[in-house]
């Protein structure tokens, strides 16, 4: 499928780089871009692509949702727009392979929400984060109130959402919104090295670890422990587990086959 606003590079073995490409609008998310993201995520070949990186073209990761499109929505249309965006981001969160956000610039509103739907966030020193929706008379609509609270705690999430303030990358790192901050020129190299490190791990184990983390999000402690034990046991039915442990005992590097 050809995309108008997405660019995809899968020239590196096991790693895909998806770039949101609408620099004239700072990569603002309209229905078309959300639809393209939905189609792309639904078609990712997770057998051959084992890590997905998402970034933005130009000086913005994603500057938010398209305000021009939202300005004339009524309540019912607003519900459908928010529901669709939230569904697309949940697909990204639930994608069975790790997804890394390479946040190169503005990550505001829907852009911050997109970054939060990814497993790991690495930010340029020039990146800026925020949920400024209250300044437009709305609230975050793509699951921002939920994920921000989970990542940084309710108190900080409420401060950021109630004030609509922007924060720079160093503050995002301090509060736990991002994993790492690097110089702009080092962003993609850092993220690619992280992806390459993930590629050395057993693919099925990584997928099951992600499922366990995501699915125990809202469970009780006993439920979460039981879920983890279930996925832990499934690893022992894989050839990769046999190879990984044999390699360790044999003091050699493991060769995983995703089996």
Q: What is the separation of C-alpha 66 from the centre of its chain, rounded to a whole number of angstroms? A: 20
CA dist 137 and 71 (Å) reads: 10
Tokens representing residue 168 in the block: 């720079």
Cβ pair 3, 38 in contact under 8 A: no
Residues annotated as part of the active site: 113, 133
Phi first, then psi: give them for residue 158, nearest 5 degrees: -65, -40
CA dist 178 and 151 (Å) reads: 9
Cβ pair 82, 45 in contact under 8 A: no
CA dist 103 and 70 (Å) reads: 24
Compute the residue count for the chain. Answer: 259
Residue among 44, 82, 57, 65 nearest 6 (CA):
57
CA dist 129 and 33 (Å) reads: 20
Instruction: Find the distance separating the first CA and the last CA of the chain, reported in whole Å.
Output: 29
Cβ pair 14, 52 in contact under 8 A: no
Cβ pair 138, 109 in contact under 8 A: no
The sign of the torsion formed by the CA atoms of 196, 202, 208, 212 equals negative
């Amino acid at each position: 499928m050809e995309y108008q606003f997405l660019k995809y590079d899968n020239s590196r073995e096991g790693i895909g780089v998806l770039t949101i490409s609408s620099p004239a609008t700072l990569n603002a998310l309209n229905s078309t871009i959300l639809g393209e993201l939905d189609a792309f995520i639904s078609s990712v070949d997770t057998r051959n692509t084992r890590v997905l990186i998402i970034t933005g073209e130009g000086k913005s990761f994603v500057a938010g949702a398209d305000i021009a499109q939202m300005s004339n929505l009524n309540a019912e249309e607003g519900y459908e727009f928010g529901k669709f965006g939230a569904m697309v981001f949940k697909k990204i969160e639930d994608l069975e392979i790790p997804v890394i956000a390479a946040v190169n610039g503005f990550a505001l509103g829907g852009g911050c929400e997109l970054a939060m739907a990814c497993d790991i966030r690495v930010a340029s020193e020039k990146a800026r984060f925020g949920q400024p929706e209250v300044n437009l008379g709305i609230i975050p609509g793509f699951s921002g109130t939920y994920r921000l609270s989970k990542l940084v705690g309710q108190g900080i999430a409420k401060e950021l959402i109630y004030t609509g303030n922007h924060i720079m990358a160093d503050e995002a790192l301090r509060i736990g919104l991002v994993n790492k901050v690097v110089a702009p020129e080092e962003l993609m190299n850092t993220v690619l090295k992280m992806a390459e490190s993930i590629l050395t791990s057993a693919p099925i184990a990584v997928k099951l670890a992600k499922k366990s983390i995501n699915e125990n999000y809202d469970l009780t402690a006993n439920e979460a422990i039981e879920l983890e034990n279930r996925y832990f046991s499934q690893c022992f039915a894989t050839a990769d587990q046999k190879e990984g442990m044999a390699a360790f005992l044999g003091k050699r590097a493991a060769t995983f086959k995703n089996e």
